[in-house]
Each structure stands twice: as C-alpha cells, then as structure tokens.
Amino acid sequence: MITDNLREIRQAIQDSCAFAHRNPEDVTLIAVTKTVDSEAARVLVDSGITHLAENRVDKLLKKQYDLRDKTHLKWHLIGNLQRRKVKSIINEIDFFHALDSLSLAAEIDKRALKTISCFVEVNISGEETKHGISPEEIESFISQLSSFTNIKIVGLMTMAPHGANEQELHDIFSRLKILQENVRQRTLAHAPCTELSMGMSNDFPIAIEEGSTFIRIGTALFKDA
C-alpha cells in the first residue's frame, strides 16, 4: 500500500534526522510519480504530500491537469530538459533540478515569465554517461549564470551512480555538500544555493546524513503499487 510505504519513509526520514541531529522540517520529501498514474499520485496528495516530481514534460503536464483541483502543490521537473521543450513547461513548474548547460540556461531565461528556481546538476562521480557539470567547473558555471535575470540557483543536485556502496555514497554526497557551501558562502544574488537535492529510494538516509534538503523518492513509495 502506498500509504504504508509513505509512513515507513517518513519514519526513516525522522530516524536519519535524529541520527544526524537535524530538524526533519529541513528535509522535503518529493514524490517522484513518473512510474505511476495520476490516481496513485492523488493518494499521496491526500496523505499530505505537497511536492511532486516528473522527469518528462508531457507526463508532468498530464499529472498537473489531472490534479488541477489541488492548487497548493509544488511541481518539480527532475529530468533533463531539451531546449525545444523549455517554452511549454518552464512557467508551469516550481523547481527545475537538472540545469547543466549555458545554452539551456539561456533558453530558460528567454522563455521565463517569472523567476525560475533551479538546481545545477553536478556529475560528482565523473561517470561519462551522466549529465551534469563537473565539480571543477561549478564555480565558473554559476558565475556565468549571473546575466540570466530570470534564473535563481537555489541549490545543487546530483544522482549517485547505480550500485555505489555506502562509503562511496557518503563520499559523493559530502562532496556535493562542500560544493554547495562554497557557492552559498559567495552570497551571490542570483545563486543563494542554500539547498541540496540528493537522495533517492536506495540512498536517501545517507543523503540526509550528509545534509540533503530535498530527497526524490519514487520506487520506495510505489514498490507494490
């Protein structure tokens, strides 16, 4: 049952926060609904979930339409976004988690009718198949975004490689935390960078220990749905 899964995840968040001496209110649970239909998403919303994520533009718009009676929801686009699709989605979402190029930033800036809260995606592990800016390039990449007045960098995001062990996960997430702190301390007007989007079904307790403020959970919510 989705509601049982949700209860377990909430408990696990509480436990990880207690272990790390963190306030659970500082960790936002984003439900990733990409593998389920709108009715399953509605069950979560009725159980108190307010943050929903999709990785595809068309699926996000569909869920938004189906749940249009729920006006308080926050919508996250977590997948990579093609420039030609920016126009159709960017003003419909609250957060974009996968900013990883200047050309995409330029397109977002051009199409935005409001300030768009973005996470810069970082490829910590250096896997060639992964999207994201390399850690060495983060500082200069973020500096170059300052001319885009419609873009606000709220934080950094990463995806840990599949099959990483616990020590590797701690290492990856703590490195993202250090990068985020470095940007935050520059107190850039366009990049407050106070947030960390890291942690998925298999690794969120470790991500919370390392300072995550937004965890993106799919499978663990819907494993038997």
Q: Which residues bind ligand PLP (CB under 6 A)?
A: 32, 34, 55, 78-79, 159, 200-202, 216-220
In the complex, minimum distance from the CB of residue 199 to ligand PLP, in angstroms, rounded to a whole number:
9
Residue 112: how many CA atoms within 13 Å on its side-chain side?
Answer: 20
In the complex, minimum distance from the CB of residue 155 to ligand PLP, in angstroms, rounded to a whole number:
14
Residue 159 or 179 having the CB closest to ligand PLP = 159
In the complex, minimum distance from the CB of residue 216 to ligand PLP, in angstroms, rounded to a whole number:
4
> In whole angstroms, what is the distance from residue 157 CA to residue 46 CA?
28
The helix or strand, by DSSP H or E, that contains position 1, with its residue range, turns out to be none
Residue 67 or 78 having the CB closest to ligand PLP = 78
In the complex, minimum distance from the CB of residue 203 to ligand PLP, in angstroms, rounded to a whole number:
8
The residues, ordered by sequence, that sit 6+ positions from 82 with a Cβ below 8 Å of its Cβ are none
Residue 196 or 217 having the CB closest to ligand PLP = 217
Other residues' Cβ atoms within 10 Å of the Cβ of residue 143: 14
Spatial CA neighbour of 198 closest among 180, 222, 219, 185:
180
